Structure 1
């Protein structure tokens, strides 16, 4: 039996509930996506390397995120028919366009870490 899923509207308005841009924002705003794209910005990597370099990611979440990125055309998966089989992941051209914006977010988070931590402490003490 073949099931069909509703395709979100291609409207370009992330404030509209049925707009496909929300799905894209969910994908690129996900913490695992940010970290995976950052690593793949240095070149292709195997699953085990990604898992080793991304502290705290479970194999299940890494697999799900890589599959989603592949489905969205941001990451390619290449299987090399060797013994044992070698699988590598790399950014596509579209995926590479995310490097600049995600680098800016990473740099912003590092630059403002102290300010955010101070605000959190002040907020928590006020409650």
Structure 2
């Protein structure tokens, strides 16, 4: 049985991860020239889990894809959640996940606010 503290850690990480991706999508929407381009830009984010360690271990991927899978923001989140829910050690992926999510959130909120204000002036 999984300890409640592990579930709380997963919930906390996801409560940071979801707003980070939402603000990134908001930034893309503000930067887009129209509704169709905003949809197309945010559609690209749909493929991030497929280029991560979500479905297969990165070691089994070709060299170029392995580099992408090991160095993108979704992989540490997935590895941390997987480690917490299965009880296996996840190494430093928890800290990397927090760092990625916090960095994306801070950058996207700041940039989206700046782009929105700038767009309002023109």
TM-score, structure 1 normalization: 0.31
Greater strand share, 1 or 2?
1
Higher relative contact order (CA 8 A, sep 6+): 2
Q: TM-score under structure 2 normalisation?
A: 0.32
